Amino acid sequence: MHLKPEISSWQVRLFKSLKVTYQSMEDWMEACDILRCNPDFHQCERYDCVIINTDSPGTTVARLCSLLRCWLSTGKVVDVALVHSFSQTNWKPHTTWENCQLRTEASNSSFVLLDYVVRGALLCPVFNSDAMLHYIIDTIDGDMFLRLNSLS
């Protein structure tokens, strides 16, 4: 008896943008971020960063590398992001300020369900550093300030 392997009927589609709706911690109103994950966004690469809801303490931040929608053979549709996560670092800048948050971008990738993406985040690279160091900018709006400073 010869068995043939069953071929699953998965389908995957790649996307270049994502609209995330969230409830602001500042005024409890609904807000949204449009996030990009595009190798050619007006002749430049653009891979935005996001805050991810995890069970780890503190704020989990990651850079979007790919946005995928997967249709499983069961009929279920799953939206997934391939991300590079940021980890905390012990490096200290010459000039520090209160609640200064630094992260190092990991080179390894992982998958995250888009259901766990909270909102977009702004990270600024640290100049003159050998590692992939970034400052987390918490002054974008009141919601971002509250999210980053209430958990740290």
**Residue range 86-137, pLDDT digits in tens:** 988 888 777 777 778 888 888 889 999 999 999 999 999 888 766 688 888 8
> Tell me, what's the pLDDT at 11?
87
Q: Which helix (H) or strand (E) holds 83?
A: strand 77-88
Q: What are phi and psi of 95, to 5 degrees?
A: -110, 120
Average pLDDT over the chain reads 86
DSSP codes of every residue in 23-70: E-TTT--EEEEEEEEEEEETTEEEE-EEEE--SSSS-EEEEEEEEEEE
> Tell me, what's the pLDDT at 116?
95
Tell how strand 77-88 and strand 60-71 pair up.
Answer: antiparallel
| CA separation for the pair 120, 81 (Å, rounded) | 13
Report residue 15's pLDDT band, with 50, 70 and 90 as the boundaries.
Answer: very high
Domains of the chain: 11-151 (2.30.30.490)
- Single-letter code of the amino acid located at 99: N
Total-model pTM: 0.83
23's tokens? 């409830």
| Contacts with 138 (C-beta within 8 Å, 6 or more apart), sequence order | 99, 101, 144, 145, 148, 149
7's tokens? 């071929």
